[in-house]
Amino acid sequence: MDVKEEDNEDHENGQKHIAAQMMLGADGVMPSTSHQFQIQQQLQEQVSTPGGGAWRSRPLEEKERTKLRERHRRAITARILAGLRKHGNYNLRVRADINDVIAALAREAGWVVLPDGTTFPSRSQGSRPAGDSSAGLTSSSSQMLSQQVPPTSLQGVSSGYCASVEYNACHMKGVFMPTPAPYDLSSSGHSQSSGMVGNGGEQTESLPLIAGSMEVINEQIIGLPPKLPERDFAGTPYVPVYVMLPLGVVNMKCELVDPDGLLKQLRVLKSINVDGVMIDCWWGIVEADAPQEYNWNGYRRLFKMVHELKLKLQVVMSFHECGGNVGDDVCIPLPHWVAEIGRSNPDIFFTDREGRRNTECLSWGIDKERVLRGRTAVEVYFDFMRSFRVEFNEFFEDGIISMVEVGLGPCGELRYPSCPVKHGWRYPGIGEFQCYDQYMLKSLMKAAEMRGHSFWARGPDNVGSYSSHPHETGFFCDEGDYDGYYGRFFLNWYSQLLINHGDLVLSLAKLAFEGSCIAAKLPGIHWWYKTSSHAAELTAGFYNPCNRDGYIAIAAMLHKHGAALNFARAELQFLEQREDLQEALANPQGLVWQVLNAAWETCITVVSENAFVCHDRVGYNKILENVKPVNDPDGRHFSSFTYLRLTPLLMERQNFMEFERFVKRMHGEAVLYLQV
């Protein structure tokens, strides 16, 4: 019985699909009335002939596949409807389909949806022509028409990058290419053509502006209404855009992985005027086997490739291990010889209250301790940076290397490794203090004795665990010990150690890279920001409770060395509505503006990168609004933006065209059809 029902429904759907195609014609235009009658007569003859329909002669296996596909589709639809009823309070009928969902969404947006499926903005009811042929289109026929034109997410993007490089979507089949309007403001200088690209044929000329006139087709033929307007960034300051290369672009033998494939991707990036790329230079790769034996081979080959394409480089001195954090897809440990030292002296690593070691980076307690085969940690960092500067001197001289970001802690960020997933931390846990190796405890003892309270030479014991919440602890709760005499002493010492580490390493970086721009990366720890203690920031080393500004001192330290601030959360302030952030009493916007104000008050350069993967226009708009704030009275903006990261997903045609549009707006170029 089920099989018969499925077959009948599939048969009806097939008839409707064939009828719609025949009614539309090959060129997507409605035929005349007499021609429609002939088509209907042919269709009736086809489906009424005994044994003549193709659907009757299908093999049993194909029918079974059709059943499975239909059941899968219905299961997905059921889950969508259940979610809308439960979380969106949509009053949908029991046997609702996707048309009901679209209609409900349109009504919620204030649109008018007629019983026949005709949809239009409520403000245009009086002006809608009574004889409009497009008004009578059903939802299914409108859907068929919409499939013949590119989606609206591709609007306003030029396609010059297809002219000179291979690309997986350059050969389009069955897509009408209209001539761009004369008022097109695209900066692309490539020739553009129109016409039909036939099936199996290849277009020999560069692709035209895909959506400049396609949107006119969308709105005139399909009757699509205008969408929400976007801010126009034409004429705004030019902000360079860099793209992070994959973490494992250079392997553990310091060899460039897939140079041919990377070269093609870099050419594609260059074709849309991306300014450059960012690359991690891993300490664990370059100085892997023995102290002061550096292997830069893979990086040299990569830098030459970038230089030949006339791109610029942002380089990260990565003194931490890769693997175990969000987004890490490769494993790059610290150098082998450092790991050997750590096995005999584990106190070179950060240690929590339970004695668990974190091998992600070296403890700041050994910044001035000669425990690394006769060298201190900062001497090791300096020797590495000096070797890099000498090895790639010509790239500095030619201005190819535009910025050197100095890794100052886990993930390259200036912070303690207070939230390690491998030790049980889960968001939105407050984390734990990382000051229990013998070298940091010695520093704490010295500070307590200088204060005259030697019994303060200990860490707090009422701070909970990694995944605790502030109100569950005696130290971080409202009016907790964090604001007592001992708490203020301990937090001041703990945070000052962080500032001293950054100060020391950046002073040597400034010496090694004299005349070049250096930068330090700061995280955006926004959870528990609305509490009095700001517990998650405290364990990370930022002494920033509600009655104290913990970022001014960091900004002043960066200003001292002329270092830029890389605040790695370009879209944080737009995440307020997420339910998990509300439960964690987070305030991304408050954190963003506190850090930015501290930076701009001290007149330091601010650069940024996105924290989350972004491929859609809404996400890009959020980044743009933060990079170029519209309401800043002094017209301040970020000096550069680095996109996270070059992946195969970014190179997919639709995603890449949206990214090209984003780059143009970052550069302050005019982009037509600013609609989401």
Active site residues: 413, 609
Cα 42 → chain centroid: 53
Helix axes 2-24, 33-48, angle to 10 degrees: 150
* Chain centroid offset of residue 8 CA: 46
Q: Which residue has the tokens 């301040």?
A: 636
Distance of CA 609 to the CA centre of its chain: 8
- Write the burial class of residue 168 (CB in 10 Å: 0-12 exposed, 13-18 middle, 19+ buried): exposed
Identify whether the C-beta of residue 232 lies closer than 8 Å to the C-beta of residue 674.
yes
d(CA 297, CA 165): 27
Residue 93's alpha-carbon distances to 81, 86, 96, 104, 482, in angstroms, are 9, 13, 5, 11, 55
Interatomic CA distance for residues 429 and 451, integer angstroms: 32
293 CB neighbour count, 10 Å cutoff? 12
Rounded Cα distance, 167 and 165, in Å: 6
Q: Which residues pair with 472 in a beta bridge?
A: none
From the centroid of its chain, how far is CA 639? Answer: 19
Distance of CA 184 to the CA centre of its chain: 30
Burial class, 245, CB count within 10 angstroms (exposed 0-12 / middle 13-18 / buried 19+): buried
Question: Which residues on neighbouring strands pair with residue 31, listed in sequence order?
Answer: none
Angle 207-208-209 from CA coordinates, rounded to 5°? 125
Q: Residue 367 in contact with residue 377, Cβ under 8 Å?
A: yes
Widest CA span of the chain, in angstroms? Answer: 103
567 three-class SS: strand
Spatial contact of 375 and 337, defined as CB atoms under 8 Å apart: no
Nearest CA to 628 out of 643, 608, 612, 644 is that of 608
